[in-house]
Amino acid sequence: MSRKITIKALKYNPLSKVSKPHFAEYTLEETPGMTLFIALTMIREKIDADLSFDFVCRAGICGSCGMMVNGKPRLACRTLTKDFPDGKIQLMPMPAFKLIKDLSVDTGTWMNGMSKRVESWIHSSKEVDISKIEERVEPEVAQEVFELDRCIECGICLAACGTKLMRPDFIGAVGINRVARFEVDSHDERTDEDYYELIGDDDGVFGCMSLLACEDNCPKHLPLQSKIAYMRRKLVALR
């Protein structure tokens, strides 16, 4: 049996002089397997063409559709409407990022800045010769690097982070995870002292209050808790 669901979405265009933050309420008929992405698409196609939200892949890979769903950060494409028994869903844009319009926020600018801040590239003194076989990497190291590389930069860990909301320059779990990814990579020649210079302060690994909302809400189930603790143990010895 299908049912009616009610979606309340925050609408606000910060570039408009007349726009004011308000909730728009939409009622639609739930379909089998309906996700929030499908519901929002139906709203935009049939009810309110002005509603703004982001999406690309629809498969939980691109990280574009992050938003606050009944107060918790989620990916719209991975959230089923049937999981809300009362059929009432409130949507808001994720905090910690610049608002573009309605449910759309600019995660790209922040992620790009984070990548530059932690120098998110291999640091090596070796010259690469593509005519030769690549340098061997132990399988367990390659697997650990791959595991940390699964981050889709959706920003959900930041939206869930109390430290980030209080400390705007905090690098967050995504930044610490990125550093951990290069720390375990045998191609990277940086030392613990080098990583300390990048994240060894209260806006880095020592600013984390260990609330662990990052790991609790990560849609890719990354080991953020253990990697934050790992980097903190390594760098605290240098203080």
Q: Please give the Cα distance from 23 to 26 (Å, whole number).
A: 10
96 and 151 in a common domain? no
* Closest-CA residue to 21 (of 87, 103, 98, 89): 103
Q: Please give the Cα distance from 180 to 174 (Å, whole number).
A: 10
216 and 169 in a common domain? yes
158 and 100 in a common domain? no
Both tokens of 82, joined, read 């049937």
Residue 10 lies in a domain: yes
Q: What is the pLDDT of residue 128?
A: 84
Domain that holds residue 173: 118-122+138-236
Both tokens of 199, joined, read 């994240």
Q: What is the pLDDT of residue 58?
A: 87
Name the amino acid, one letter, at 25: E
Residue 109 lies in a domain: no
92 and 148 in a common domain? no
Q: What is the pLDDT of residue 214?
A: 96
Residue 81's CB is within 10 A of a number of other CB atoms, namely: 19
Look at the chain and report how many structural domains it folds into.
Answer: 2
Q: For the domain that residue 45 is a member of, what is the CATH number?
A: 3.10.20.30
Q: For the domain that residue 165 is a member of, what is the CATH number?
A: 1.10.1060.10
Relative orientation angle of helices 224-236 and 192-199, to the nearest 10 degrees: 110
CB 188 within 8 A of CB 195: no
154 and 85 in a common domain? no
Per-residue pLDDT of the chain (239 residues; tens, 9 = 90+): 689 999 999 999 999 999 999 999 999 999 999 999 999 999 999 999 999 999 999 889 999 999 999 999 999 999 999 999 999 999 999 999 999 999 999 999 999 999 999 999 999 999 888 898 888 899 999 999 999 999 999 999 999 999 999 999 999 999 999 999 999 999 999 999 999 999 999 999 999 999 899 999 999 999 999 999 999 999 999 87
